[in-house]
Structure 1
Amino acid sequence: MENPIYIGLSRQVALRAQMDVIANNVANMSTPGYRSQNMVFTEFLEKPKGKNDTIGKQDPLSFVLDYGHYQTNEPGSMQYTGNQLDVALNGPGYIGIQPQGSTETAYTRAGNFQVNVKGELVTGRGDPVMGEGGGAIIIPEDSGKIKIAEDGSIANANGQIGKLKISEFDDLQALEARGDGLYYTTQEGKPAEKTRAIQGMVEGSNVKPVLEMTRMIDVLRSYQSTQRLLQSEHERQRTMIQRLSRGS
């Protein structure tokens, strides 16, 4: 296989990865607290292989490499729900979650909470919301009106019944998204100093639909353009082989 084909295929692989990220963003446009993802590309240089290195100096081959992705930490829009258990975060913090069937602590910005049959405060998918002490937050059945303060303290008419575990991190890009609006990290979370809880509201996704659709169209056009280049290269090679065979 010739070098132009290798280079073209490397670009198509990178474009396919970028399209997957864009498609995931579009699919999560309505997911509370979702943070959009973007690709990071880099250039991979390789020295051309040849038998005769004495005839001039060849430039290295430039391949496209999908280096990784990064998270856009711009906040999503605040949506009023009126649900006394819903919480939106104003600031860079995340709420601690204990995913079902896992010993790991996860973090989320999706504050659409409810109470399960055990009286635990849980996420929309049923994962217990962690209290400041590490355990689940229990909402008594006869709590009545619930008040959630800016620092995450939860109280009813009888006093405080729990406090949300709101953590801030030094490197938000080190948070690993694994779906369902949950993020994981090996970093040690710090007590929230710049984050405030807002009761009765939910933070929406920060995905910008028009921007994502524009990116999707650009990626599709680039992929098609590269495909035409590869087809042209195949035709060139086939024509060359045919001419050589007739000459022999």
Structure 2
Amino acid sequence: MQTGYYSSAAGMVTQFNRLDTIANNLANVNTNGYKEDNLIIGDFMRLYQQKRDELPNENNTKEAAKFLNRTMTKAPQVVDEYTNFSVGNLQKTSNPLDVALSRENLFFAVKTPEGVRLTRDGSFSLDDEGKLVTKQGYEVLGDDYFKSKEGISFSTVDSVIDIDKNGQIYTNVPGSVTLTQNKKLFIANVDNLRYLKKEGDNLYRLDDMKRLEISEESGAVNQGFLEKSNVNAVKMMTQLIETNRLVGMYQKAMDTQMNEMNRDAIEKIAKKV
């Protein structure tokens, strides 16, 4: 009986973790460039398939059967977590400083107090010094940052800002509509997205940022657009309802187990008396 109680409690804790993930996704449903997080819950079959070749007992024996029966009483648990990096919908804003990326393995590079970080949020603006910055005030970096150590700046006479599909920035010659080449956006190409680690402010980091590969000809930069969150609100609400119901089921199972334990204890005490 105690095994069932502890299994139900462990299952409830797993669902609480899932609730936290779903709530965070829903909270960021309107965050530009946000990527949905997901948990993988391991049931008995998943755990068994992973470990069946490592069983301590020979197959088709009583000992193996007992081992499997004990294993089946184990509660569901979080066995993995991952981020869905699929591209969100691109929303047209016609703002020349809004930029979206149409490939999932590309990121903008920005300078933070903790070092270089990556982001998918291309809602940029100019600060008082004419520097291109994010909503949080982080400098947006050019592809020559590791040499120049400088971000991207504009002068007060730059009335036209044009960004091509590869991130090359053009500004107008003062007093004319002729465009001249400015800096180029640092478009980082990440081969293995599982190496990315989420931080606050919609940022990502790699353990070694200097090993980032710059995408020179990405063809994925869209000026005047913003990438919206890829969170499916309807799916998240469905999962939220499902998870709440599972929590309720585990609660009932725990109550039943506790009531049975209390009844058994009372009956045993009564017999001794």
TM-score (norm 2): 0.82
Aligned equivalent of 2:51: none
Distance 1:195 1:219 in 2: 41
- CA change 1:195–1:211 in 2 (3 A) is farther
2:183 partner amino acid: G
Tell me the secondary structure at the aligned position of residue 11 of structure 2: helix
Aligned pair partner of 1:60 in 55, 63, 70: 70
**156-165 vs 121-130, which moves further:** 156-165
1:215 partner amino acid: Q
Greater helix share, structure number: 2
Aligned equivalent of 2:238: 214
Distance 1:70 1:122 in 2: 29
Q: 1:75 and 2:75 equivalent?
A: no
Q: CA deviation at 1:194?
A: 4.4
Distance 1:150 1:69 in 2: 33
Aligned pair partner of 1:120 in 124, 131, 134: 131
Aligned pair partner of 2:154 in 122, 139, 143: 139
Counterpart mapping for 1:69-218 below 5 A: 69-92=81-104, 93-99=106-112, 101-102=113-114, 104-134=115-145, 135-158=150-173, 159-186=180-207, 188-192=211-215, 193-194=217-218, 196-218=220-242
Identity, % of aligned pairs?
27
Distance 1:57 1:222 in 2: 28
**171-180 vs 115-124, which moves further:** 171-180
Distance 1:77 1:29 in 2: 12
**5-14 vs 24-33, which moves further:** 5-14
The answer for unaligned runs of 5 or more in structure 2 is 49-54, 56-62, 174-179
Q: 1:242 and 2:269 equivalent?
A: no
Distance 1:139 1:16 in 2: 48
TM-score (norm 1): 0.90
Aligned equivalent of 2:59: none
Distance 1:203 1:191 in 2: 20
Tell me the secondary structure at the aligned position of residue 215 of structure 1: helix
Question: Quick check: 1:32–1:204 contact (8 Å CA) kept in 2?
Answer: yes
Distance 1:11 1:225 in 2: 10
Distance 2:197 2:6 in 1: 31
Question: Quick check: 1:91–1:195 contact (8 Å CA) kept in 2?
Answer: no
**157-166 vs 234-243, which moves further:** 157-166
Distance 2:212 2:35 in 1: 19
